[in-house]
């Protein structure tokens, strides 16, 4: 039972909880609010960040720049139709609706007060458009439709230009698309506006969105953020691949990505995603950095495909359509200005809608993970080594190498020395790349570092048996005391070796609370045999000669462990 307790890392839940809590507090100071503590580790392990375009790469300050006919000439009637559509809809008004509604030219239109709402056909992501039916000043019922140009085209039988209505044939459809593409290539987000006069009836439905007359376009500018290029470069330098998942069209998205430094050699559209099998999509998603014209289901599927390929995936979004992807991601990231469902679905919320804030959060997440990993590596390897020594020594000794109460006291003191791990510093190279869990790496640490402590345990056994004559069971207490002290000191010392990839104490030093905890526990362990409590635990005062020999054992242990650690890192059998 004592051996089993000695093998158990009892402090792991506490160390993990404190590390995560400390990380959450540190991140809150840097404008990242963590809703779920376990998301901190995922943030540090994240190697792919999928982000929406609007507001993260762009300024989220959409301005209506153009309202034009199909030949891209300014046309106030197009603006009037778009305004009526946005004004009378009852659904959630997006940024483009607000940009239209704040355009002052419409309010002065003499006929605007004479229009009245009759019905509404709400937006959905399959149609990517919405319509309202209004009663015109002349008493007619007019359906006004606004949406993605490529979807509006499908429902248009005619177009209007200079007061003339002309049919849309295949040649004309290509010309119309060319005009639309010109706007998109200039960085505009474009909505098409179409209408149709209907016979009056009680209610209208999607089936009435046919034989429309294309009237023109409203075009918006949402320029990229000044900080976006720098932030993306920092994320990429941190080993994170940034992919853009957007509902906007390919041309606008390409331009924005180009301006912020995201390569767009590989682009996938939502229509292509739908036709791909999971295997095909997994292969394409690895190479693709821009996904355009996506529905919420497309975003969710892409994230799951990337996770299936072994990536730790983060998703950043703030709209209703981002909620499924936020829930599917390993770490969902939203902002404090997001819609409620997005904030509810997210694991972390940025107080500023800026990728630079996220980059700081990623580094904090990696620090937390590094400190958790320190305890796991140290606890598992040293516990394994010491218990291996207990079982091995029991084979040839005529008495138990350490009494159960001594094992428990050793374990208790050793665990107290690790309470300060959450305060420890982390070397820059340990936060330079994503830090995923690797059970293989932890196992190799246990198998290689653990026996290092056993080697010097057996050296201690040899010294006590052949130098101090502890073969006699009458000297069992002296043997047990010596191994207790050596075991506690080596276990406590090990944290300073495995906490860094560098040379401990010389190239990298622990935080002062961890150093203080280590020194305090080592002093308690060394003085315990001479204290009044010593006899109660079965300890005997140690002879003077033992201490210089112990110093040599500790030095040899530190050098061997450092050498094995360096070998593991050079062979890349463990991660830094």
Other CB atoms within 10 A of residue 79 CB = 22
Closest CA to 376 of 319, 333, 421: 421
Mean pLDDT highest for which of 319-323, 523-527, 565-569? 523-527
Pairing of strands 212-221, 63-68: antiparallel
Cβ neighbours, 10 Å, residue 407: 23
Task: List phi, psi (to 5°) of 31.
Answer: 70, 30
What residues contact residue 443 under an 8 Å CB cut-off, 6+ apart? none
Q: Is the pLDDT of residue 38 over 60?
A: yes
Q: C-alpha 45: how far from its chain's center? A: 7
> Beta-carbon neighbour count of residue 109 at 10 Å?
16
Q: Catalytic: 472?
A: no
CATH of 63-221, one of 3.40.1110.10, 3.10.270.10, 3.30.930.10, 3.40.30.10: 3.40.1110.10
Are residues 199 and 142 in contact, defined by beta-carbon separation less than 8 angstroms? no
23 three-class SS: helix
Residue 91 in 3-state DSSP? coil
Query: Is domain 48-57+224-351 in CATH 2.40.170.20, yes or no?
Result: no
- Give me the sign of the Cα torsion angle 24, 25, 29, 33: positive
* Tokens describing residue 458: 């057996």
Domain 2-16+362-570 is of which CATH architecture? Up-down Bundle (1.20)
pLDDT tens digit string along 344-381? 999 999 887 777 888 888 888 888 888 888 888 887 77
Closest by Cα among 52, 131, 40, 13 to 324? 52
What residue ranges do the domains of the chain occupy? 2-16+362-570, 48-57+224-351, 63-221
Rounded CA separation 363/374 (Å) = 17
- The DSSP-derived string for 290-329 is EEES--HHHHHHHHHHHHHTT--EEEE--SGGGHHHHHHS
Contact criterion met (CB below 8 Å) for 318 and 52 = yes
Q: Where are the alpha helices (DSSP H) in 51-191?
A: 76-88, 95-101, 149-154, 170-185
Give residue 146's pLDDT.
Answer: 95
Per-residue model confidence as pLDDT tens digits over 112-136: 678 899 999 998 888 889 999 999 8
- From 480, 491, 518, select the one nearest 385 (Cα to Cα): 491
What is d(CA 364, CA 456) in angstroms, rounded to the nearest whole number? 37
Residue 383: pLDDT band by 50, 70, 90 thresholds?
confident
Between residues 265 and 549, the one the model is more confident about: 549
The count of other CB atoms within 10 Å of the CB of residue 156 is 22
Rg of the chain over Cα atoms, rounded to whole angstroms, equals 34
Q: What is the mean pLDDT of the chain?
A: 87
d(C-alpha 432, C-alpha 427), whole Å = 9
For residues 527 and 184, give the distance between their C-alpha atoms in angstroms, rounded to a whole number.
77
More confident: 355 or 197: 197
Residue 479 near residue 399 (C-beta atoms within 8 A):
yes
pLDDT reported for residue 108: 46
For range 127-148, the mean pLDDT: 92
Q: Can you name the residues that pair with 292 across neighbouring β-strands?
A: 269
* pTM for the structure as a whole: 0.78
Report the alpha-carbon distance of residue 161 to residue 178 in Å, rounded. Answer: 16
Sheet architecture: strand order including 267-269 = 32-34, 348-350, 331-335, 313-316, 48-51, 241-245, 290-292, 267-269
Judged against a pLDDT cut of 60, whether residue 140 lies above it is answered with yes
Q: Where do runs of H (alpha helix) occur along 89-221? A: 95-101, 149-154, 170-185
User: Which pLDDT value is given to residue 57?
Assistant: 81
pLDDT for 244 beyond 90: yes
pLDDT at 400 (0 to 100): 85
Beta bridge partners of 156: 212
pLDDT digits (tens, 9 = 90+) for 106-116: 554 556 678 89
């Amino acid at each position: 039972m004592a051996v089993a307790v000695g093998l158990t890392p009892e402090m792991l839940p506490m160390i993990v909880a404190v590390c995560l809590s400390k990380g959450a507090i540190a991140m809150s100071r840097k404008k990242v609010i963590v809703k779920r503590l376990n998301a901190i580790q995922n943030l540090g392990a994240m190697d792919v960040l999928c982000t929406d375009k609007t507001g993260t790469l762009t300024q989220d300050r959409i301005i209506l720049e153009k309202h034009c006919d199909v030949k891209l000439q300014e046309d106030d009637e197009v603006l009037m139709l778009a305004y009526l559509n946005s004004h009378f809809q009852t659904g959630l008004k997006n940024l483009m609706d607000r940009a239209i509604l704040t355009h002052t030219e419409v309010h002065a239109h003499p006929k605007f007060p004479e229009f009245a709402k009759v019905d509404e056909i709400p937006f959905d992501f399959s149609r990517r458009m919405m319509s309202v039916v209004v009663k015109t000043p002349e008493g007619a019922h007019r359906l006004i439709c606004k949406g993605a140009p490529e979807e509006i085209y499908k429902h248009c039988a005619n177009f209007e230009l200079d007061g003339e209505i002309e049919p849309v044939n295949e040649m004309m459809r290509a010309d119309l698309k060319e005009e639309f593409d010109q706007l998109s290539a200039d960085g505009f987000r474009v909505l098409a506006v179409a209408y149709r006069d209907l016979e009056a009836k009680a209610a209208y439905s999607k089936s009435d969105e046919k034989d429309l007359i294309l009237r023109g376009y409203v075009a918006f500018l949402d320029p990229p953020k000044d900080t976006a290029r720098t932030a993306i470069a920092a994320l990429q330098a941190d080993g994170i691949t940034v992919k853009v998942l957007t509902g906007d069209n390919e041309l606008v998205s390409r331009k924005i990505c180009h301006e912020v430094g995201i390569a767009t050699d590989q682009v996938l559209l939502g229509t292509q995603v739908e036709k791909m099998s999971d295997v095909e999509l997994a292969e394409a998603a690895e190479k693709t950095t821009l996904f355009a014209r996506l529905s919420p289901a497309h975003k969710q599927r892409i994230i799951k495909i990337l996770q299936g390929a072994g990536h730790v995936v983060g998703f950043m979004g703030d709209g209703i359509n981002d909620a499924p992807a936020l829930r599917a991601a390993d770490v969902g990231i939203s902002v404090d200005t997001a819609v409620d469902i997005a904030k509810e679905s997210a694991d972390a919320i940025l107080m500023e809608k800026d990728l630079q804030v996220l980059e700081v959060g990623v580094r904090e997440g990696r620090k937390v993970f590094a400190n958790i990993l320190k305890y796991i590596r140290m606890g598992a390897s040293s516990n394994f080594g010491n218990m291996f020594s207990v079982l091995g020594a029991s084979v040839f000794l005529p008495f138990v190498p350490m009494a159960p109460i001594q094992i428990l006291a050793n374990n208790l003191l050793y665990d107290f020395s690790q309470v300060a791990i959450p305060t420890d510093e982390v070397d820059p190279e340990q936060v330079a790349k994503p830090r995923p869990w690797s059970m293989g790496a932890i196992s190799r640490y246990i198998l290689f570092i653990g026996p290092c402590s056993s080697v010097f345990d057996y050296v201690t056994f040899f010294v006590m048996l052949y130098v101090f004559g502890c073969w006699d069971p009458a000297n069992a207490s002296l043997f047990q005391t010596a191994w207790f002290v050596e075991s506690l000191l080596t276990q406590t010392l090990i944290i300073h070796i495995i906490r860094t990839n560098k040379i401990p104490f010389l190239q990298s030093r622990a935080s002062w609370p961890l150093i203080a905890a280590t020194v305090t526990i080592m002093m308690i362990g060394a003085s315990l045999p001479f204290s009044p409590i010593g006899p109660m635990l079965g300890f005997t005062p140690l002879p003077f000669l033992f201490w210089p020999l112990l110093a040599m054992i500790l030095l040899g242990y530190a050098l061997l462990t450092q050498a094995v650690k360096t070998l593991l890192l050079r062979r890349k059998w463990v991660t830094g």
